[in-house]
């Protein structure tokens, strides 16, 4: 599953990079195509403007000759209209060819020729109005020369623009085709990659669904096994407790008949009674540990100060026997399962009292602080930094070597033999581990042989 996800991730990344590359290339082609389209439009506009300028010059000449022949003032108005049209046309040409130095110089020259042509026309009109010559004046012929030069320059500009127009048109057609082909390729690649990724995702979803169904089946099997375990535990705790109670009752009855049994038999019966009692306690602890796997009840705000006080009351006789002293700071209020938290602190304090040094006043300290700690996620290899309520229970007992700190939390995990001076079957700290797990936290221990031990409880918030 991980390899397939990695393959899909790599395929998606490659396809994404390819599509980004093609998209950028398409954008660049489209930009170039747009630039050539604008240049093509500009060339067409220059040609149209040159044509308009040429027409205005021809109109100017035609209306001037009409006035010279008829002396009709209508032609003067037509000439003025042509002059008014030709100046904006020249201005447009200057703006259109401003970036082309050669054409720009030609346009400036054309402007000078047109200005002179108009000036000679005015001189000619003034001469006609004052002298009324029978033949055309020198001003008319000079104006004609300037117009011919201007028309020659317009044809030159027109020829240059036709060449530029042809080149731009060819480039425009080339980039238009290239842009179209690039967009088609981008669409094909996008559709192909999308289809492939869709097929891979469908296959992965099928496999995932299959695994999910298997997982649900396993979960159901686990629930059934857990239910069976609960039934077995219930049967053991009830069906075995009754014979044990009878063993204790009958052994006690025999022990009390001291006058009828000898000392050796009496000692044997006492051992039987003690063993039955140990078995009774062991079964009760196992039952408690099994029941901790159930968290059907809802969490509620729980004052740990009150929980610790309850534990001290339950252990008051042991505390008195050990002459133990406690130093307890203010503890927080947590959302938790109150019965389990009572069991947790009772087990920790009982453990601290149990392993206190003999013939010495023992001191047990319960401290609290907040802190963040990196912890590896149970569902992945990622390490997250989590904030915790940290409660520490420290004693000055016999302690232990830190190399055994993981064994003490295992079921039946003990650092002492069954014949040592310290009672217990190794279930107290196992219950603590289960309770902390039920609260999404964990427990750690550190110790030093002969110098006490400290247990840290981490409650996330």
CATH number of 399's domain: 3.30.565.10
Torsion angle, CA of 185/186/192/193, rounded to 10 degrees? 140
| Domains held by the chain: number | 2
- Asked whether residue 226 is domain-assigned, the answer is no
* Boundary-marking domain end, from 154, 182, 202: 202
Q: Residue 44 sits in which domain range?
A: 2-202
> What is the Cα–Cα distance from 76 to 83, expressed in whole angstroms?
10
CA torsion through residues 355, 357, 360, 362, sign:
negative
* Residue closest to 8 by CA, chosen among 196, 175, 179, 152: 196
- Asked whether residue 423 is domain-assigned, the answer is yes
* Boundary-marking domain end, from 167, 183, 202: 202
pLDDT value of position 382: 47
pTM beyond 0.75: the answer is no
pLDDT value of position 456: 93
- Asked whether residue 246 is domain-assigned, the answer is no
Task: Please list the pLDDT of the chain residue by residue as tens digits (461 residues).
Answer: 566 667 767 777 777 787 788 778 778 877 888 888 888 888 899 999 999 999 999 999 999 889 888 888 899 899 999 999 999 999 999 998 888 888 889 999 999 999 999 999 988 888 887 776 655 678 888 998 999 999 999 999 989 888 888 888 888 888 888 878 877 887 887 788 788 878 877 887 888 888 888 888 888 887 777 676 666 666 666 666 777 777 877 777 777 766 666 777 777 878 888 888 777 777 777 677 666 766 567 889 999 999 999 999 999 998 888 888 999 999 999 999 998 999 999 999 998 888 887 666 788 999 999 888 766 554 444 456 788 999 999 998 888 877 777 677 776 555 554 444 455 555 778 888 889 988 989 999 888 887 889 999 999 98
């Amino acid at each position: 599953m991980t390899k397939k996800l990695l393959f899909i991730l790599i395929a998606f990344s490659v396809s994404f990079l390819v599509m980004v590359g093609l998209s950028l290339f398409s954008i660049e082609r489209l930009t170039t195509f747009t630039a050539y389209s604008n240049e093509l439009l500009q060339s067409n506009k220059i040609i149209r403007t040159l044509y308009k300028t040429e027409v205005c010059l021809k109109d100017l000449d035609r209306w001037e000759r009409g006035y010279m022949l008829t002396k009709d003032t209508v032609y003067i108005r037509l000439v003025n209209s042509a002059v008014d049209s030709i100046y904006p046309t020249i201005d447009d040409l200057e703006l259109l060819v401003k970036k082309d130095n050669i054409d720009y110089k030609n346009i400036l020259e054309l402007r000078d020729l047109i200005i002179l042509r108009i000036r000679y026309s005015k001189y000619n009109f003034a001469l006609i109005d004052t002298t009324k010559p029978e033949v055309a004046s020198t001003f008319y012929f000079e104006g004609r020369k300037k117009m011919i030069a201007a028309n020659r320059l317009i044809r030159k500009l027109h020829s240059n623009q036709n060449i530029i127009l042809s080149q731009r048109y060819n480039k425009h057609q080339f980039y238009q085709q290239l842009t179209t082909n690039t967009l088609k390729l981008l669409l094909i690649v996008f559709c192909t990659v999308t289809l492939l990724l869709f097929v891979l995702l469908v296959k992965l979803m099928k496999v995932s669904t299959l695994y999910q169904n298997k997982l649900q089946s396993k979960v159901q099997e686990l629930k059934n096994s857990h239910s069976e375990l609960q039934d077995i535990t219930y049967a053991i705790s009830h069906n075995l407790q009754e014979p044990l109670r009878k063993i204790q009752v009958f052994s006690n009855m025999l022990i009390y008949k001291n006058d009828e049994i000898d000392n050796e038999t009496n000692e044997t019966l006492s051992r039987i009674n003690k063993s039955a009692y140990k078995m009774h306690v062991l079964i009760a602890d196992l039952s408690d540990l099994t029941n901790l796997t159930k968290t059907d009840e809802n969490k509620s705000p729980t004052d740990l100060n009150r929980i610790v006080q309850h534990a001290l009351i339950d252990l008051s006789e042991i505390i008195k026997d050990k002459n133990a002293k406690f130093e307890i700071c203010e503890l927080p209020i947590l959302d938790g399962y109150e019965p389990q938290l009572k069991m947790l602190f009772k087990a920790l304090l009982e453990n601290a009292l149990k392993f206190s040094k003999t013939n010495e006043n023992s001191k047990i300290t319960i401290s609290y602080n907040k802190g963040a700690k990196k912890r590896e996620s149970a569902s992945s290899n990622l390490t997250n930094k989590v904030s915790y309520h940290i409660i520490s229970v420290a004693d000055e007992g016999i302690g232990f070597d830190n190399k055994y700190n993981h064994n003490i939390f295992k079921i039946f995990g003990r650092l002492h033999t069954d014949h040592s001076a310290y009672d217990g079957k190794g279930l107290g700290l196992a219950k603590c581990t289960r309770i902390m797990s039920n609260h999404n936290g964990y427990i750690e221990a550190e110790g030093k042989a002969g110098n006490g031990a400290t247990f840290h409880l981490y409650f996330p918030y």
